[in-house]
C-alpha cells in the first residue's frame, strides 16, 4: 500500500509552465493505492470512493480517455507502457480524502499513488523527478489537461514540515522549513475549480501569446521565466491587453516566489505575508483567475488575529485559499473565518488546519 499527498501552493501560480518558480507543500490529505499481482491476465482498478471498478485485459488498456476517474490511473499505466514496462495482471485499489475540485491536486495524488504502487510492483526504477514527469505526461497526453509539473512534483518529492521552492526549468529544488508555530489553514470557498476546463487553457494561451511577442525582439526568451518587466514595458503594445496583464502577473510572480522562499528561510514572516497578499491581488486583477468568493475569503482573513498571509491557491477560478496563521490562533481563526464567510456569501465553507507532509511513500 502506498500513499501520495495533495498539495497547497504557498506562492507561484501559473508560473510552472512558464519554466518559473513555485513554492508548494504537501498536505495531510492523500490518495492511498493498494496493489497486488493477479494471475488471470486482468488489470482491475477499483475506486473505493465511487464504489466502482474497471477491468481490462493486460496489453489492452483503453486507447482513449473515458472522461471519468479511471483516466488518471489508466493514463499512468499507459505512460509506463510507453516507457517500455509491461503492465502485468494486477488489482489496484484507490481511496482518497483530498477534497475534489478544490485546487488541492486530487488528480496528482491519484496519479502519483498509482505510479508509486505500480512502479514498485513491476520493479521500475524512476527517480523522483522522473516519476513526476511520468504523471504529468499521463495528465497532458491521456487525460487531456495542459497542467504544468508543480502538483505531481511536490506529491512525489515533498518533505514533512517543509515547503519546496521548485525551479520548474531544471526541476532543482530547495526545501524551506515551515516554522513549528505556523499553521497551514486551508479555506475551501466551495466554488468548484477544474484544470480541464477552458479557463486554465485560455490563460495558458495568453501567456504564450505574450511570450511570442517578446521573443520576436529577444529570441533568447523561450518562456516568460526569461522575460522582465522592462521587456513588457517596451513591447507590451505588440500583444493583446489580456496577454499583457497575464504576463505581468507571471513575470512579477516569479520574482515574488523567489523572494518569498528567502523570507520563509530567514523566518521573515511579515515579508512573506506581504508577498502573499501582493500575489493574491496580482492573480485576481492581472491574471483574473480569482472569483468573488475567493477574493472575499482573502479579504475577510486580513484582520483576524494570527494571520501571517492569505491568498487563493492552485489553478484558480474557485477552490481554496491558503492562510499562514500563528499556530496558537489557528482554531479561532478557522471558526471566525467560517462565520464571516457565511455572513458575506451565505456559503458554509470547509476550513482545514493542515500540516506540511511527506511526499509519496509506502504505508506499512
Residue window 233-272: x/- pattern of binding to ligand GLA, with contact defined by CB under 6 A:
----------------------------------------
Give 13 or 286: the residue with its C-beta nearer to ligand GLA.
Answer: 13
Give 150 or 260: the residue with its C-beta nearer to ligand GLA.
Answer: 150
Using CB under 6 A as the binding rule, whether residue 186 contacts ligand GLA is answered as no
Q: Are strands 320-326 and 90-96 parallel, antiparallel or unpaired?
A: unpaired
Give 195 or 264: the residue with its C-beta nearer to ligand GLA.
Answer: 195
| Nine cell digits for residue 142 | 491521456
Using CB under 6 A as the binding rule, whether residue 150 contacts ligand GLA is answered as yes
Applying CB under 6 A, the span of 14-22, 240-248, 331-339, 354-362 interacting with ligand GLA comes to: 14-22
Applying CB under 6 A, the span of 71-79, 144-152, 169-177, 212-220 interacting with ligand GLA comes to: 144-152
Using CB under 6 A as the binding rule, whether residue 195 contacts ligand GLA is answered as yes
Using CB under 6 A as the binding rule, whether residue 111 contacts ligand GLA is answered as no
Using CB under 6 A as the binding rule, whether residue 231 contacts ligand GLA is answered as no
User: Could you tell me how many residues of this chain bind ligand GLA (CB under 6 A)?
Assistant: 11
User: Which residues, in sequence order, are bridge partners of residue 177?
Assistant: 162
Give 216 or 285: the residue with its C-beta nearer to ligand GLA.
Answer: 285
Q: Are 327 and 122 in contact (CB under 8 A)?
A: no
In the complex, minimum distance from the CB of residue 273 to ligand GLA, in angstroms, rounded to a whole number: 20
Give 43 or 323: the residue with its C-beta nearer to ligand GLA.
Answer: 323
Chain-centre distance of CA 193, in angstroms?
12
Q: Is 167 exposed, middle or buried (0-12, 13-18, 19+ CB in 10 A)?
A: middle
In the complex, minimum distance from the CB of residue 214 to ligand GLA, in angstroms, rounded to a whole number: 20
Using CB under 6 A as the binding rule, whether residue 6 contacts ligand GLA is answered as no
Residue window 299-318: x/- pattern of binding to ligand GLA, with contact defined by CB under 6 A:
---------------xx---
In the complex, minimum distance from the CB of residue 153 to ligand GLA, in angstroms, rounded to a whole number: 9
Torsions phi, psi of 235, nearest 5? -115, 10
Give 99 or 148: the residue with its C-beta nearer to ligand GLA.
Answer: 148
**Which of the residues are catalytic?**
151
Tell me which residues touch ligand GLA (CB under 6 A). 13-14, 16-17, 147-148, 150-151, 195, 314-315
Amino acid at each position: 500500500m502506498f500513499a501520495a499527498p495533495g498539495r497547497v501552493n504557498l506562492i507561484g501560480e501559473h508560473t510552472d509552465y512558464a519554466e518559473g518558480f513555485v513554492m508548494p507543500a504537501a498536505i495531510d490529505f492523500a490518495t492511498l493505492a493498494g496493489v497486488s499481482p493477479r494471475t488471470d491476465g486482468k488489470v482491475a482498478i477499483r475506486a473505493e470512493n465511487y464504489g466502482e471498478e474497471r477491468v481490462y485485459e493486460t496489453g489492452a488498456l483503453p486507447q482513449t480517455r473515458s472522461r471519468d476517474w479511471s483516466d488518471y490511473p489508466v493514463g499512468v499505466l499507459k505512460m509506463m507502457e510507453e516507457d517500455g514496462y509491461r503492465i502485468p495482471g494486477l488489482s489496484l485499489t484507490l481511496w482518497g480524502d483530498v477534497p475534489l475540485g478544490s485546487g488541492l491536486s486530487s488528480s496528482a495524488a491519484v496519479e502519483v499513488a498509482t505510479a508509486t504502487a505500480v512502479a514498485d510492483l513491476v520493479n521500475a526504477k524512476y527517480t523522483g523527478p522522473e516519476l513526476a514527469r511520468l504523471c504529468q505526461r499521463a495528465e497532458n497526453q491521456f487525460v487531456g489537461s495542459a497542467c504544468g509539473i508543480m502538483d505531481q512534483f511536490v506529491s512525489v518529492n515533498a518533505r514533512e514540515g517543509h515547503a519546496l521552492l521548485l525551479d520548474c526549468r531544471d526541476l532543482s529544488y530547495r526545501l524551506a522549513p515551515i516554522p513549528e508555530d505556523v499553521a497551514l489553514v486551508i479555506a475551501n470557498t466551495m466554488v468548484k475549480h477544474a484544470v480541464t476546463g477552458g479557463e486554465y487553457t485560455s490563460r495558458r494561451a495568453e501567456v504564450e501569446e505574450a511570450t511570442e511577442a517578446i521573443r520576436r525582439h529577444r529570441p533568447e526568451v523561450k518562456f516568460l521565466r526569461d522575460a522582465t518587466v522592462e521587456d513588457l514595458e517596451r513591447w507590451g503594445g505588440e500583444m493583446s491587453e489580456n496577454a499583457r496583464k497575464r504576463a505581468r502577473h507571471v513575470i512579477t510572480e516569479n520574482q515574488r516566489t523567489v523572494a518569498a522562499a528567502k523570507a520563509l528561510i530567514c523566518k521573515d514572516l511579515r515579508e512573506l505575508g506581504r508577498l502573499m497578499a501582493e500575489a493574491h491581488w496580482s492573480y485576481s486583477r492581472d491574471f483574473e483567475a480569482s472569483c468573488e468568493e475567493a477574493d472575499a475569503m482573502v479579504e475577510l482573513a486580513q484582520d483576524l488575529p494570527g494571520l501571517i498571509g492569505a491568498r487563493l491557491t492552485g489553478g484558480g477560478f474557485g477552490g481554496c485559499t491558503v492562510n499562514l496563521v500563528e499556530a496558537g490562533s489557528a482554531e479561532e481563526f478557522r471558526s471566525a473565518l467560517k462565520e464571516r464567510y457565511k455572513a458575506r456569501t451565505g456559503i458554509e465553507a470547509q476550513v482545514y488546519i493542515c500540516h506540511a507532509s511527506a511526499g509519496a511513500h509506502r504505508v506499512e
